[in-house]
Structure 1
Amino acid sequence: MVRLASFLLFTFLITTSLSAEERKPNVIFILADDQGSVDAGCYGSDDLHTPHMDSLAVNGVRFTQFYSAAPVCSPSRAGALTGRWPVRAGVPSNCSSAKGGSGALPSSEITMAEMFKAAGYTTAHIGKWHIGYTEETMPLAQGFDYSVGHMGGCIDNYSHFFYWNGPNRHDLWRNGKEVHEDGRYFPQLMADEACAFIEKNQDKPFFIYYAMNTPHYPYQGEAKWLDHFKHVKYPRNLYAAFIASQDDRIGQLLAKLDKLDLRNDTIIVYQSDNGYSTEVRAHNGGGNSGPYRGAKFSMFEGGIRLPGIISWPGHLPEGEVRGQIAHACDWLPTLAELTGVELPQTHLDGRSQVDVIQDAEAKSPHADHPLHWQVGNGKNAAWAVRDGNWKLVANTRDTEESGNNAQVKLFLANIAEDPGETTNLVDQHPKIVARLTKLHRQEFGD
């Protein structure tokens, strides 16, 4: 009997060990909303409180040339979730914030959630959606097993009403059904939901798309942080308080992983969807693009060059920085390679960054694969191409707080020499302009 008991115990330990080795890592994709290019301590801001965001860089790899898929919400999200240029994914501009409204990520597109679900993951959308407001295009129809959040572009964080235009309308949904959580602070609701999902699914691989609505307007930082930043100049004080409130919730998420001993079993990706907002609803600013020109809505660097971090302690380098070019569309193939799941059977514009993440000297996958952006359709669409150090933008605006809001028809810069895009080299390099314009037309047509 003793020998039998020992044999059974040995078999159990071996089986447990193998299952632990075979289990795929969890994935949490954190997407900030309208966070400026340098608006975290690890990106150089010394007037913000971001210890938990910074801890992801301490325990991971931080990109200094990371680009979102678009300078505005919906296309940026569509690109990140599909690994395809937003125009190719069917989302050239912002989707409606009204139930049943126009514009959506087509159901034929394969999302990151669908990719992970096919590999046996349990999937959750928590937070903002803004890429479809019909039953066929909301999260449960796009690969998510669980969903809670708002379907439109923004909400008041306490009443959960959309106030941008009338009539005012409530926008909070759980698994496709409208729910009311009167007075519950939305960033805390998100953190509570995510922690509960992790607790419930801790014994199997999970994927969480944690799409924050912060620091998107309305700026509604907590009272303690508003008091903490009361001596900071307006509107930076309001923005800083909201960022700190956001960071607290990221800390809660990380604490839950640590408590359940899941931190080393979980890949965390962090990025912003576009640059900070200078809209009147955002008090005309508050964020910071640092040395870069432009902000939200702009094809200049400040609209699309943003925080981008990946962390997986014990498996990926920690506390390291990468200067190679990276793009939001790269996350899908990168995560597929890291987790060992199959890629969608479709054309992908993103390229795996695994080699770069593992080796600071690795060649960028975009060395031979130019980056493209476009918002809108037709000849007046704003677009940009980056090939090597050269970047050409067309039909864009400098949307910075103190910038000139006049439209720029065509602007060429060498980003390595002029990251602030201060000097237009269109007239000096007509052949480069012609070559980059041709690349754009080959990708999207006229």
Structure 2
Amino acid sequence: MKTILFTFLLLASAQASQKKWNVITVVTDDQSQWSVGCYGQSDIQTPHMDSLAKDGAIFTNAFVNSPVCSPSRATFLTGRHSTELGVTDWLTGGQSQKNGISNKFTSWPEILRQNGYTTGLIGKWHLGSREASLPKNNGFTYFKGNPAGGWHPKKTIFTDNQNKTEPITGDSVNICTDIAIDFIKENKSRPFSLLVHYREPHAPYGPMPSIDEAKTKDLKPAISDYPNLNKNTAKLMRNYLTAVSAVDRNLGRILETLKEQGLEEKTIVIFTSDHGYNIGHHGLRFKGNGYWITTDKKGCRPNMFETSISVPLMIRWPGVVKPGTRVDAMTANIDMLPSITGMLGLQSATPHHGYDFTPLLKGEKPAQWRTEVFGQYQMINDAKHSMRMIRTKDWKLIRHYKVENKDELYDLKNDPGETINLINEKKHAKVISKLQARMDSRMKALKDDPLSKS
């Protein structure tokens, strides 16, 4: 009897290890950590985002390698840096027709497709609209969304893999979810990977569905105490948080669908964003290409502040990740390719620069882990800065190549809000020298010329 029971347990364990998981990745647009309840937001409720942290893992030091849409999304899919990919700034409509991602660099959805997964992407693409850059040529068997970039929240015009374009009446945030739910139901009997890329909470923040606006119509949100902020900053914040609330409600619809379809225990759910955001933080609005929203300053302020590069990252992996797991190690969206393939147990020889955070999810200590995040932002559209960043646990060095007297050094341990630029402090010369050496090493390995005109 004991032998039979032991054999049964071995079989059950083997079946669990061979289980073919589904994976859903929800990616919002322009959402920093400060907007989510489980990261400290208290002006609105984000129960469904918070539930992923409660039932799974929350990453407290999750960053992106580029602080704007297109290069960050390209890195997220390929595990490669923006200068390697040739996508270093957000793509305008005209640029999208000539430039973008290429299947020369294998994406993790392509790896999943090669391993029998049905792969879908709904919503925002923003990685080029030329033929070589389209989702169908970069790993997706299904696409319904906008190839170019953003759109108005009530003017949704989506294209599919057959290049058929149609306007869809309603609220974009709900429309993306409706399509996602249909995809889940249609593919529930086969392994699938679904990327739901909301345009929210990107500007314009509204109008949002009435059910969401009703929750915040009387909200008086907290804002930064940065001096001389424009008078409409609190209104901007309220509208932005309304859009975050709309995403949370729709995330709840996706989670409920998984439960109704019997897929909850066999689906990994990942929630993150393409980069962070500012509304009054550091006196700015937007992200790495932030603009001043103060009465005494105007124009673009290129930056790689924590608020611009930090993103929410929560992962629910039923039966594998212990509920309430907290991951404090530094991660970056360049880690997604090795981590998703790692979670799914897929082997791939695809070159990348990321780390597989699967052991961190399981409470294990990896043999090696990063001690820094390397960032790039080679601007084309809003300014001519060519930024490179090294962020360690305690320090951040940002070089603004192509412009003079803009370099930055922050003591993150004693000044986590990055309020004092120490770049000209002679006592920190050794710190700067060590960080610069690490930055130079990264750039040399990538053949990265920050002074390049391309």
Shorter-chain TM-score: which interval? 0.7 to 0.9
1:369-380 alignment, distance < 5 Å: 370-376=372-378, 380=385
- TM-superposed deviation, 1:197: 1.1
2:63 to 55, 64, 67: 67
2:223 matched to which residue of 1?
A: none
Amino acid at match of 1:409: K
Amino acid at match of 1:184: G
Q: Is the 8 A contact 1:98 1:152 kept in 2?
A: no
Alpha carbons of 1:360 and 1:40: their partners in 2 closer, same or farther (altered >3 Å)?
Answer: farther
* Aligned-partner Cα distance in 2 for 1:207–1:222: 28
1:336 matched to which residue of 2?
A: 341
User: CA offsets per residue over residues 250-283 of structure 1, 9 Å max, x none?
Assistant: 111111111112112111111111122559xxx9
- TM-superposed deviation, 1:22: 3.4
2:439 matched to which residue of 1?
A: 440
2:161 matched to which residue of 1?
A: 175
1:418 to 402, 415, 418: 415
SS at match of 1:92: coil
- TM-superposed deviation, 1:439: 2.5
Say what the alpha-carbon RMSD is for the aligned residues.
Answer: 3.0
2:45 matched to which residue of 1?
A: 49
2:209 matched to which residue of 1?
A: 222
* Aligned-partner Cα distance in 1 for 2:255–2:164: 29
- TM-superposed deviation, 1:319: 1.2
User: CA offsets per residue over residues 57-105 of structure 1, 9 Å max, x none?
Assistant: 1111101111023110001101111112222222111123348623201
The number of aligned residues is: 401
* Aligned-partner Cα distance in 1 for 2:272–2:35: 11
1:253 matched to which residue of 2?
A: 254
1:365 to 363, 366, 369: 369
SS at match of 1:425: coil
2:185 matched to which residue of 1?
A: 199
2:112 to 109, 116, 135: 116
* Aligned-partner Cα distance in 2 for 1:243–1:124: 23
- TM-superposed deviation, 1:223: 1.6
Q: Is the 8 A contact 1:94 1:103 kept in 2?
A: no
2:353 to 346, 349, 353: 349
* Aligned-partner Cα distance in 2 for 1:417–1:270: 30
Alpha carbons of 1:418 and 1:74: their partners in 2 closer, same or farther (altered >3 Å)?
Answer: same
- TM-superposed deviation, 1:131: 0.6
1:61-140 alignment, distance < 5 Å: 61-98=57-94, 101-140=97-136
Amino acid at match of 2:35: D
Q: Is the 8 A contact 2:278 2:307 kept in 1?
A: no
* Aligned-partner Cα distance in 1 for 2:82–2:349: 16
SS at match of 2:42: coil
User: Which structure 2 residue ranges, 5 or more long, are not aligned?
Assistant: 1-10, 221-234, 291-299
User: CA offsets per residue over residues 144-194 of structure 1, 9 Å max, x none?
Assistant: 00000111221012223xxxxxxxxxx521124242234222111211111
* Aligned-partner Cα distance in 2 for 1:204–1:310: 22
Amino acid at match of 1:424: N
Alpha carbons of 1:17 and 1:274: their partners in 2 closer, same or farther (altered >3 Å)?
Answer: closer
SS at match of 2:422: coil
In the alignment, structure 1 residue 152 sits paired with structure 2 residue 148: yes
- TM-superposed deviation, 1:394: 2.2
* Aligned-partner Cα distance in 2 for 1:100–1:308: 28
* Aligned-partner Cα distance in 1 for 2:137–2:253: 29
- TM-superposed deviation, 1:436: 2.0
User: CA offsets per residue over residues 39-74 of structure 1, 9 Å max, x none?
Assistant: 011111111121111111111110111102311000
* Aligned-partner Cα distance in 1 for 2:49–2:398: 31
Amino acid at match of 2:376: Q
Alpha carbons of 1:361 and 1:108: their partners in 2 closer, same or farther (altered >3 Å)?
Answer: closer
Alpha carbons of 1:411 and 1:296: their partners in 2 closer, same or farther (altered >3 Å)?
Answer: closer
* Aligned-partner Cα distance in 2 for 1:441–1:175: 41
User: Which structure 1 residue ranges, 5 or more long, are not aligned?
Assistant: 1-14, 161-170, 290-294, 397-405
Amino acid at match of 1:355: P
SS at match of 1:409: coil
SS at match of 2:311: coil
Compare 202-211 and 227-236 and name the one that shifted more.
227-236
- TM-superposed deviation, 1:297: 5.7
Q: Is the 8 A contact 1:147 1:174 kept in 2?
A: yes
SS at match of 2:315: strand
1:430 matched to which residue of 2?
A: 429
Alpha carbons of 1:408 and 1:206: their partners in 2 closer, same or farther (altered >3 Å)?
Answer: farther
% identity of equivalent residues: 29
Amino acid at match of 1:90: G
Amino acid at match of 1:236: M
1:392 matched to which residue of 2?
A: 397
1:274 matched to which residue of 2?
A: 275
Q: What is the TM-score with the length of structure 2 in the denominator?
A: 0.81
Amino acid at match of 1:302: T
Alpha carbons of 1:441 and 1:248: their partners in 2 closer, same or farther (altered >3 Å)?
Answer: same
Q: What is the TM-score with the length of structure 1 in the denominator?
A: 0.82
1:304 matched to which residue of 2?
A: 309
